[in-house]
Amino acid sequence: MIDETDIKNCLLQCWSLQLSSLWTSDNPARGQCGVTALVINDNFGGEILKTKLNNGSWHYYNRIEGKRLDFTKDQFENIIEYCDTVSSRDEAFSDTNEEQYNYLSSAFKNFTKSSRSRVNR
């Protein structure tokens, strides 16, 4: 079972300006959807989904064990009208780059590893 609160807290610690030029401390999820969907897919499997936003861009997120998980929805002021179109890693990767992906992947693994070691003490 996936603890969404723990994952979100981890992501909040990992997201940064290095991952998106749109990041701000007031809106840390902004610009993080593609890279986040990829890293969540790496760690928990499932599918990558996408929804077309009103501005014409794609928003990426995950479905794991039949449940939609959108860890970056807080970046938007309005509620998203989800289409849940099945996407791919290649499409989600078009929203990021290798440097950003490697950074979040490493930061997420390091943060979750250090969190587990504190819990197991």
At residue 115 the predicted structure's pLDDT band, cuts being 50, 70 and 90, is low
Distance, in Å, from the CA atom of 15 to the CA atom of 101, rounded to the nearest integer, reads: 11
Residue 107 in domain: yes
Check: pTM over 0.85? Answer yes or no: yes
pLDDT digits (tens, 9 = 90+) for 44-58: 999 999 999 999 999
Residue 29 included in any domain: yes
Q: Is 121 domain-assigned?
A: no
The total number of structural domains in the chain stands at 1
Q: For residue range 91-104, list pLDDT tens digits in order.
A: 999 999 999 999 99
What are 65-74's pLDDT values in tens digits? 999 999 999 9
- How far is Cα of residue 13 from the mean position of the Cα atoms in its chain? 12
Any domain includes 69 = yes
- Domain for residue 17, yes or no? yes
Residue 119 lies in a domain: no
User: What pLDDT is stored for residue 119 in this prediction?
Assistant: 39
- Return all residues near 50 (Cβ < 8 A) that are at least 6 apart: 58, 59, 60, 61, 83, 85, 87, 91, 92
In a domain, 120, yes or no: no
The pLDDT score that the predictor gives to residue 1 is 62
Looking at residue 116, its pLDDT comes to 54
Q: Whole domain around residue 18: which residue ranges?
A: 4-114
pLDDT surpasses 80 at 24: yes
